[in-house]
A and B are shown apart, each in its own frame.
Chain A
Amino acid sequence: MKFRKALSTMMALTVIGAMTLTGCTGAATSDAASYPKGALEFIAPSGAGGGWDLTIRTVAKVLKDTDLVSVPMPVTNNAGSGGGVNLAYMQTQKGSEKLISVYSPPILLIELNGSSEYGYENTTPLARLITDYGAFAVPKDSEYKSITEVMEALKKDPKSVKIGGNSAAGSMDHIQFLIVAKAAGVENLKEIDYISFQDGTATAQILGGHIDLLTTGLGDIQALVESGDLNALAVTASERVGEGVLAEIPTVKEQGIDVVFENWRGLFGAPEMPEHAIEFWQDTLAKMVETEEWKTEAAKHGWAEAYLGQEDFTEFLKKTNEDYKVILEEIGLLVNN
């Protein structure tokens, strides 16, 4: 029975191998002075090419170009479940000094709507870097000429304006619109029809006139507003942003709706990140945002600089989390966990 014997040999080898190797996977710890030592682990919780990916790759590039960090910073993509998969992964790397990830409002939303059991408290917030803003656009021949007209129509009949966006219900695009609608005094937020599209196709739907209003990031519609195919009714910034056509888009505040929605992006370390690593990043990131290289990159991508250090950022997250909670509660998507 040579066959059996060979098989059992292989099996035994596997088991022995498994036992010896899983036992000793302890990561080598380095002392505070020489941090960072060895390659870091930069993670984009989305696929390549998305906003998170772009941000963390830009950070890595600037840090390298400015010699603020001289160890390798390979970026990996750990996509899935709106960032939830990576959040769960981060829990397995407790105390890691190497892991740096990027997040934006969804890190709060996915915990609040119950799609992730972890939230920002299960990470080490390091710094808020930039912010983008939400924008609301209609086709060029739309009957709506201002965001207040839309809100008035919704107050009369919440079904009269069909809102479309690129994220799932209860996520970014939806929430940013509801925050503005609530501030404008629209009741029955639940009754408003939000239609979710995949793969960024909501933009095609608004161009084809299949939906009435598109809620999305300002960057996503920039080109179409410049070309005149879309009419941007409002941007959710506190004051006008950018230049040229973008600067012509009024803020919601100007139109009497006193609210701001920021699509901020910040860096997060693994939970229980060692103190010396936190200090290093505090210091390094504060320096980075002051460099010319960073400013050039930010301008290129149309990001507004919005640096907040670790303490302020944590405070900011706490407050924002409460704001989102209210909205999600109102539309019944809040999950208490």
Chain B
Amino acid sequence: MEILQFLFDGLLIAMQPINLLLVTFGGILGTIVGMLPGLGPATGVAVLLPLTFSMSPTGALITMAGVYYGAMFGGSRSSILINTPGDGAALAATFDGYPMAMNGKAESALAISAIASFIGGLISVVFLIVLATPVARFALKFGPAEYFLLMVAALSMTSSMSKGNMLKGFIATMIGLAIATVGIDAQSGISRFTFNILELQSGIDFLVVIIGLYAIGEVFKAYSEINNGKKIQQKKFGKIWITKDEWKRSWPSILRSTPLGFIVGALPGAGGTMASLMAYNNEKQLSKTPENFGKGEIIGLAAPEAANNAASVGALIPMLTLGIPGSGTTAVMMGALLMLGIQPGPLLFTQHPDVAWGLIASMIIGSFILAIVNIPMAGILVRVLSIPPKILYPLVLGLAFVGTYAISNSVIDFYIMIMFGLLGYFMNIAKIPTAPMILAVIVGGTMEQSFRQATKISNGSLEIFWGSPLAISLIAITIIFVGFPMIKKSLSKLFPPKKAVETA
């Protein structure tokens, strides 16, 4: 049991008082950074880069793990409290987390988010220890064709997310995909739809779209509620915890979402956003009462939260085992490792076992510390809801702008964000769903690029898309996901439920 020995050594390193302090410091810093709109784990880790110069490799890595983990915990705080996701991975937490807070259940929402994050993260670290190599091998099977099919699967799942009208969902998807085509086309080197604006060459960051649609859109919505006197601040706060019943309903979905998030996270380039959205959809499909999703269903918050933390652990696999950064955050972490003179790759575990196992052990310790720190911290944070809305929403606006600026230091993004804020407002009036559009913006780039990568490899033949067992299984999954709601619908038409549900 060599692994246990290494892990034990790692734990000993991570348990040293100084390292405990570092992981706590990192965790709190990460939580704060994660909460700010636009700033995610990548920024948090980048903030630490200059510090790593003067730290020992292990100390630096442990702090970084704390930040990374903390940001994953923190990202959903602002999703729940002010409907403004801190980063892409926290997007799915707005779907049910914010309605929960609006229903006066902010305490449960914050608690389940911390609990689900903790469980998802901890189980994934165990997965990482046991399964790193086979999962890395599996991830390598994903060629461009498989990536394309994965994106199609993710997109087709949104059809189930668009409430009411499928057509409007398709239109939103098309527009989202069109937004993703802005920028330099990597396959040909030609810039598309950039209107000669330099900043647009690297494309429109999906975070700007999210902040525009959600944060700005939420502020606009809040105006009318303030004027109608509907928006009242919460004055009494309960304990940050969940009821037995809520726990009973949540744990199966947490356990289901963890492996899903872990695998999706391990695919280079897929990431936490995809993982949490897929987990959300998955739970909605499985649920007996899918109509409750989006209205404050606790499962709809527990699932993406578990998946998102699991994905953050999974994302470390390509970096640790192959030296490939699969996400923005792991790219920064890899940069930090390189600065410390450590080359991540297949030999990392044999050449630097102290570093690799120290990192893994500190993620375990970090999970516990963050769970302990987060519950009381949530107790303070929840009081955001007691700020009078007339003060809170201008501040949300201010944070949205500074967060957007932090993404790429460009004022152009301000205009883009305002545009999406207005677009979101009008889409809301016209009852066009925004979720499919956002997902399309997120996956659109990869979808088109991988399609063209695949056809270049196959010299134009489309057979590559069903040329591997993996590709065929992905097609099967998509068909099931698209077909399942239809079958369910036709079944319920054949056997109408006792009480006819009024549809909007």
Direct touch of chains A and B (CB < 8 A): yes
How does the 8 Å CB contact mask read for A148-159 relative to B, with 1 for contact and 0 for none?
Answer: 000000000001
Measured between beta carbons, the chain B residues less than 8 angstroms from A200 are 268, 324-326, 331
How does the 8 Å CB contact mask read for A37-59 relative to B, with 1 for contact and 0 for none?
Answer: 00000000001111001100110
A48–B49 touching, CB < 8 Å: yes
B410–A226 touching, CB < 8 Å: no
A196–B457 touching, CB < 8 Å: no
With beta carbons under 8 angstroms apart, the residue of A75, A168, A224 that contacts B184 is: A168
A82 and B202 alpha carbons, distance in the complex (Å)? 8
Interface size on B, residues (CB 8 A): 58
With beta carbons under 8 angstroms apart, the residue of A58, A198, A229, A333 that contacts B269 is: A198
Task: Report B267-296 residues with CB < 8 Å from chain A CB.
Answer: 268-269
Residue of A nearest to B147 (CB): A201
Shortest C-beta distance, B333 to chain A (Å), equals 7
With beta carbons under 8 angstroms apart, the residue of A169, A193, A229 that contacts B346 is: A229
B198–A81 touching, CB < 8 Å: yes
Q: Is A145 an interface residue (CB 8 A)?
A: no
Residue of A nearest to B339 (CB): A54
Shortest C-beta distance, A336 to chain B (Å), equals 15
A201 and B268 alpha carbons, distance in the complex (Å)? 6
How does the 8 Å CB contact mask read for B328-351 relative to A, with 1 for contact and 0 for none?
Answer: 100111111011010111111000
Q: Is B141 an interface residue (CB 8 A)?
A: yes
Residue of B nearest to A300 (CB): B341
How does the 8 Å CB contact mask read for B177-211 relative to A, with 1 for contact and 0 for none?
Answer: 00000001111110100000011011000000000
Most chain B CB within a 10 A radius of its CB, from A84, A171, A196: A196
A30 and B53 alpha carbons, distance in the complex (Å)? 31
A248 and B467 alpha carbons, distance in the complex (Å)? 37
A169 and B456 alpha carbons, distance in the complex (Å)? 13
Q: Is B242 an interface residue (CB 8 A)?
A: no
A116 and B202 alpha carbons, distance in the complex (Å)? 12
Q: Is B358 an interface residue (CB 8 A)?
A: no
Q: Is A61 an interface residue (CB 8 A)?
A: yes
Measured between beta carbons, the chain B residues less than 8 angstroms from A198 are 186, 269, 445-446, 449
Q: Is A326 an interface residue (CB 8 A)?
A: no
With beta carbons under 8 angstroms apart, the residue of B53, B268, B341 that contacts A57 is: B53
Measured between beta carbons, the chain B residues less than 8 angstroms from A203 are 322-324
Measured between beta carbons, the chain A residues less than 8 angstroms from B53 are 57, 61
Q: Is B379 an interface residue (CB 8 A)?
A: no
A88 and B198 alpha carbons, distance in the complex (Å)? 8
A49–B189 touching, CB < 8 Å: no
A53 and B328 alpha carbons, distance in the complex (Å)? 14
Shortest C-beta distance, B462 to chain A (Å), equals 16
Q: Is B46 an interface residue (CB 8 A)?
A: yes
Shortest C-beta distance, A135 to chain B (Å), equals 14
Q: Is B243 an interface residue (CB 8 A)?
A: no
Shortest C-beta distance, A119 to chain B (Å), equals 14
How does the 8 Å CB contact mask read for A192-233 relative to B, with 1 for contact and 0 for none?
Answer: 010111111101110110110000000010111011010000
A49–B46 touching, CB < 8 Å: yes
Residue of A nearest to B408 (CB): A80
Q: Is B444 an interface residue (CB 8 A)?
A: no
Q: Is B421 an interface residue (CB 8 A)?
A: no
Q: Is B133 an interface residue (CB 8 A)?
A: no
A199 and B450 alpha carbons, distance in the complex (Å)? 13
Q: Is B459 an interface residue (CB 8 A)?
A: yes
A54–B338 touching, CB < 8 Å: yes
Shortest C-beta distance, A73 to chain B (Å), equals 11
Measured between beta carbons, the chain A residues less than 8 angstroms from B410 are 80, 85
Shortest C-beta distance, B353 to chain A (Å), equals 15
Q: Is B475 an interface residue (CB 8 A)?
A: no
Q: Is A79 an interface residue (CB 8 A)?
A: yes
Residue of A nearest to B140 (CB): A208
Shortest C-beta distance, B457 to chain A (Å), equals 5
Q: Is B483 an interface residue (CB 8 A)?
A: no
Shortest C-beta distance, B282 to chain A (Å), equals 25
Measured between beta carbons, the chain B residues less than 8 angstroms from A122 are none
Residue of A nearest to B329 (CB): A49
A316 and B188 alpha carbons, distance in the complex (Å)? 28
A58 and B338 alpha carbons, distance in the complex (Å)? 11
Q: Is B31 an interface residue (CB 8 A)?
A: no
Given contacts A49-B49, A77-B46, contact A227 B347 (CB under 8 A): yes
A53–B335 touching, CB < 8 Å: yes
A84 and B202 alpha carbons, distance in the complex (Å)? 10
A195–B322 touching, CB < 8 Å: no
Measured between beta carbons, the chain B residues less than 8 angstroms from A47 are 42, 46, 328, 331-332
A169 and B344 alpha carbons, distance in the complex (Å)? 27
Residue of A nearest to B48 (CB): A48
In the complex, the 8 A-B pairs of residues with the closest C-beta atoms, listed nearest first: A49-B335, A223-B345, A210-B143, A170-B189, A48-B46, A227-B346, A208-B140, A169-B189
14 A-B pairs within 8 Å (CB atoms) are namely A50-B335, A81-B184, A82-B201, A159-B459, A168-B186, A169-B187, A198-B186, A204-B140, A204-B142, A204-B324, A205-B143, A205-B144, A223-B343, A224-B346
Given contacts A80-B201, A198-B186, A333-B189, 16 further A-B contacts (CB under 8 A): A48-B332, A48-B335, A49-B331, A49-B335, A54-B335, A79-B202, A80-B202, A85-B199, A115-B184, A116-B198, A169-B186, A199-B326, A201-B324, A207-B140, A223-B346, A224-B346
Residues of A at under 8 Å CB distance from B? 47-50, 53-54, 57-58, 61, 75, 77-82, 84-85, 88, 113-116, 159, 162, 168-171, 193, 195-201, 203-205, 207-208, 210-211, 220, 222-224, 226-227, 229, 300-301, 333
